[in-house]
C-alpha cells in the first residue's frame, strides 16, 4: 500500500538537492477536505506546508506530497461551474489554434481535463479531442457530454498507449494541473512522446510572480506542489527536447502563466516575451530568499493585528463568522490562527454547505445565514473577492453587520 504522505529530498523539476526553505507555514490538513457532520469526531491529520526554493533551477515547491489517489479520485470541483472559466477557455482554444494553425481533425489531448470544458471548444473548431482525468465521477460526466475521456492518471506508460491507439497529438494541454503533479519527469517524458514533430505543449498554471507580488500566500496548499515561473520552465524543458516559444500573463485564477513549447526545431518562431518575462521575474526577486522572508513578516504582523481585534470583539460578546470555504480558506485560517475565532463560515457554493472545514471543523452554511444568524462581524476569508462580496451584501451592512477584510491590509466596512 502506498503511503499517504512522503517528503521529497530533491527538486521535482531538475532533481537537484539544493532545496532551501524560504517560507515556513503552519501545517494544515488537505485543503479541500471538507467533511460531513457524521465525520466531525474524526481527527484529520495535518501535513507540513513549507515552501522551498531550488537554488539550481529556481523552482519554488513543496517537499511534502500527499498521494494523488487521496487528493483526486473523489475530486468534486468542476471547471464549468467556475465563474468566468468557460469564457476563458473559449478564448483560450481560439488563441492557441490561431497561433499553431493545426490541420482540421488534428488530435488535441488535455491532461487533467476535468469535465471537458476546454476540449469542448477545440472540438467545436473541428479538432479530435481526448481528455485524461483521474476523478471518476467527473470523467464519466465528460464522457456523457460527448468528450472522449480516459479515467486515469497521466503517465509516460499511458502516453504510449494513447499514441498507439489515437496517433500523435498536434496539441497537448495542461491547465491548472501542471502545478499538481509530483512526478514531472514522467509527465514530461509522456508529453514529448505524444507530440507530433510539429506538435505544441501548452501549460497554463498559477504564476509565482503574481503570488509573490500580490501576497497570495493562501494559494499555497497541498494540491499545489509546484509554483512556476518562466525561468525554471525554460531550463528544464530543454532537458526534454522542448523549447519555449511563448510566455503570456493571464488574468485567470488571480494571475496565471501560459507557456507554449514545441520540440526543438519544430518550426515555430520563439517570442521575445520569454526572455522579457525572465528579466521581470529576476528584477522582482522571486528567486531571492529575502523576498519570502518579507512576505512571512507581513503575514505574522497581520495575524497579530487581526487576532487582537477579534479578541476585543469577543470580550464585547460579538459574534464573528467567516466568508469563503475553499482550499485557500484552509491555508488562511491555519496561518491566521482563526480556528477558535469563527462561529461558522458561509459560502456561495452549494456543494460546501452543511459540511465542516478541514481539521478545525467549523460549520459551513449558505450566505443566507448572514441574515438568519446575524453575526456582528464577518471576516472575508476569500479576501480576493472582498469587493464583490461586500457589494452583494449591502443589506447585511444596512442591518448593522460589519465586514473585516483581513489581507493584505486589515480594513473594516
CATH number at residue 379: 3.40.50.720
pLDDT band at 267 (very low <50, low <70, confident <90, very high): confident
Residues 311 and 386 in one domain: yes
Residues 93 and 192 in one domain: yes
Is this prediction's pTM over 0.75?
A: yes
Please tell me the distance from the alpha carbon of residue 35 to that of residue 40, in angstroms, as a whole number. Answer: 7
pLDDT attached to residue 74: 58
Please tell me the distance from the alpha carbon of residue 50 to that of residue 20, in angstroms, as a whole number. Answer: 10
pLDDT attached to residue 82: 62
Residue 47 lies in a domain: no
Residue 299 lies in a domain: no
Residues 83 and 111 in one domain: yes
> Average pLDDT in the 192-215 region?
96
Residue 354 lies in a domain: yes
pLDDT band at 112 (very low <50, low <70, confident <90, very high): very high
Please tell me the distance from the alpha carbon of residue 189 to that of residue 204, in angstroms, as a whole number. Answer: 18
pLDDT band at 147 (very low <50, low <70, confident <90, very high): very high
> Average pLDDT in the 367-390 region?
97
In the block, residue with C-alpha cell 511563448: 246
Contact 151, 133 (CB under 8 A): yes
pLDDT attached to residue 72: 72
Q: Is the pLDDT score of 265 beyond 60?
A: yes
pLDDT tens per residue, range 279-328: 999 999 999 999 999 999 999 999 999 999 999 999 999 999 999 999 99
Domain boundary among 233, 255, 287: 287
> Average pLDDT in the 92-97 region?
96
pLDDT attached to residue 83: 58
Query: Tell me, what CATH number does 211's domain have?
Result: 3.40.50.150
Residue 6 belongs to what H/E stretch? strand 5-7
pLDDT attached to residue 2: 72
C-alpha cell at position 163: 499514441
Residues 252 and 197 in one domain: yes
Please tell me the distance from the alpha carbon of residue 173 to that of residue 154, in angstroms, as a whole number. Answer: 12
For 361, the 3-state DSSP assignment is coil
Domain boundary among 253, 287, 321: 287
Q: Is the pLDDT score of 236 beyond 90?
A: no
From its phi and psi, is residue 339 left (phi > 0), alpha (psi between -120 and 50) or beta? alpha
Residues 280 and 183 in one domain: yes
Tally the domains of the chain.
Answer: 2
Neighbours of 334 (CB within 10 A): 23
Residue 20 lies in a domain: no
Contact 21, 50 (CB under 8 A): yes
- Dihedral angle sign, alpha carbons of residues 157, 158, 164, 167: negative
Residue 3 lies in a domain: no
pLDDT attached to residue 270: 87
**Burial zone of 281 (CB within 10 Å; 0-12 exposed, 13-18 middle, 19+ buried):** buried
> Average pLDDT in the 84-90 region?
87
pLDDT attached to residue 351: 87
Domain boundary among 224, 259, 287: 287
Residues 278 and 394 in one domain: no
Please tell me the distance from the alpha carbon of residue 149 to that of residue 114, in angstroms, as a whole number. Answer: 9
Pairing label, strands 195-206, 19-23: unpaired
Please tell me the distance from the alpha carbon of residue 56 to that of residue 17, in angstroms, as a whole number. Answer: 8
Name the residue among 371, 366, 376, 304 with its Cα closest to residue 335: 304
CA distances to 72, 151, 205 from 138, in Å: 10, 9, 20
Tell me which of 319 and 1 has the higher pLDDT. 319
Residue 411 belongs to what H/E stretch? strand 411-412
For 129, the 3-state DSSP assignment is strand
Residue 2 lies in a domain: no
Please tell me the distance from the alpha carbon of residue 120 to that of residue 115, in angstroms, as a whole number. Answer: 9
Q: Is the pLDDT score of 54 beyond 80?
A: yes
Residues 274 and 180 in one domain: yes
pLDDT attached to residue 76: 57
Residues 338 and 281 in one domain: no
Residues 116 and 222 in one domain: yes
Chain centre to alpha carbon of residue 353 = 22
Residues 236 and 385 in one domain: no
pLDDT attached to residue 162: 98
pLDDT attached to residue 81: 57
Residue 18 lies in a domain: no
pLDDT attached to residue 33: 94
Contact 130, 163 (CB under 8 A): no
pLDDT attached to residue 80: 57
Residues 238 and 132 in one domain: yes
Residues 197 and 333 in one domain: no
Please tell me the distance from the alpha carbon of residue 15 to that of residue 89, in angstroms, as a whole number. Answer: 33
Residue 365 lies in a domain: yes
Beta pairing partners, 246: 260
CA distances to 143, 195, 244 from 269, in Å: 36, 18, 10
Name the residue among 132, 81, 91 with its Cα closest to residue 111: 132
CA dihedral 116, 118, 123, 127 (to 10 degrees): -120
pLDDT band at 70 (very low <50, low <70, confident <90, very high): confident
Which residue range(s) make up the domain with 157?
79-287
**Burial zone of 120 (CB within 10 Å; 0-12 exposed, 13-18 middle, 19+ buried):** buried
pLDDT band at 213 (very low <50, low <70, confident <90, very high): very high
Amino acid at each position: 500500500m502506498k503511503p499517504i504522505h512522503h517528503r521529497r529530498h530533491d527538486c521535482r523539476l531538475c532533481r537537484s538537492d539544493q532545496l532551501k526553505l524560504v517560507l515556513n507555514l503552519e501545517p494544515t490538513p488537505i485543503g479541500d477536505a471538507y467533511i460531513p457532520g457524521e465525520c466531525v469526531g474524526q481527527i484529520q491529520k495535518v501535513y507540513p506546508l513549507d515552501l522551498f526554493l531550488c537554488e539550481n533551477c529556481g523552482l519554488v515547491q513543496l517537499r511534502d506530497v500527499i498521494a494523488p489517489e487521496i487528493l483526486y479520485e473523489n475530486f468534486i470541483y468542476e471547471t464549468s461551474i467556475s465563474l468566468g472559466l468557460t469564457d476563458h477557455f473559449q478564448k483560450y482554444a481560439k488563441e492557441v489554434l490561431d497561433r499553431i494553425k493545426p490541420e482540421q481533425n488534428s488530435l488535441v489531448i488535455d491532461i487533467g481535463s476535468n469535465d471537458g470544458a476546454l476540449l469542448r471548444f477545440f472540438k467545436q473548431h473541428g479538432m479530435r479531442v481526448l481528455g485524461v482525468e483521474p476523478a471518476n465521477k467527473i470523467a464519466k460526466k465528460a464522457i456523457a457530454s460527448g468528450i472522449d475521456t480516459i479515467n486515469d492518471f497521466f503517465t509516460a506508460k499511458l502516453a504510449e498507449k494513447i499514441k498507439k491507439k489515437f496517433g500523435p497529438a498536434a496539441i497537448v494541454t495542461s491547465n491548472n494541473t501542471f502545478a499538481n503533479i509530483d512526478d514531472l519527469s514522467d509527465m514530461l517524458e509522456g508529453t514529448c512522446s505524444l507530440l507530433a514533430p510539429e506538435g505544441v505543449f501548452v501549460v497554463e498554471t498559477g504564476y509565482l510572480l503574481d503570488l509573490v507580488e500580490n501576497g497570495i500566500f493562501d494559494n499555497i496548499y497541498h494540491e499545489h506542489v509546484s509554483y512556476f515561473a518562466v525561468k525554471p520552465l525554460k531550463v528544464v524543458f530543454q532537458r526534454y527536447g522542448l523549447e519555449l516559444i511563448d510566455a503570456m500573463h493571464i488574468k485567470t485564477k488571480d494571475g496565471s502563466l501560459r507557456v507554449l513549447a514545441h520540440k526543438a526545431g519544430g518550426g515555430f518562431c520563439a517570442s521575445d516575451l520569454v526572455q522579457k518575462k525572465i528579466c521581470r521575474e529576476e528584477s522582482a526577486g522571486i528567486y531571492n530568499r529575502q523576498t519570502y522572508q518579507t512576505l512571512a513578516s507581513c503575514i505574522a504582523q497581520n495575524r497579530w493585528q487581526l487576532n487582537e481585534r477579534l479578541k476585543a470583539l469577543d470580550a464585547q460578546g460579538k459574534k464573528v463568522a467567516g466568508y469563503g470555504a475553499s482550499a485557500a480558506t484552509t491555508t488562511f485560517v491555519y496561518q491566521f490562527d482563526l480556528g477558535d475565532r469563527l462561529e461558522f463560515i458561509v459560502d456561495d457554493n452549494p456543494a460546501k454547505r452543511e459540511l465542516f472545514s478541514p481539521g478545525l471543523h467549523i460549520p459551513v452554511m449558505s450566505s443566507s445565514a448572514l441574515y438568519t444568524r446575524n453575526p456582528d462581524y464577518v471576516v472575508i476569508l476569500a479576501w480576493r473577492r472582498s469587493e464583490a462580496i461586500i457589494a452583494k451584501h449591502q443589506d447585511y451592512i444596512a442591518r448593522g453587520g460589519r465586514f473585516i477584510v483581513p489581507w493584505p491590509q486589515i480594513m473594516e466596512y
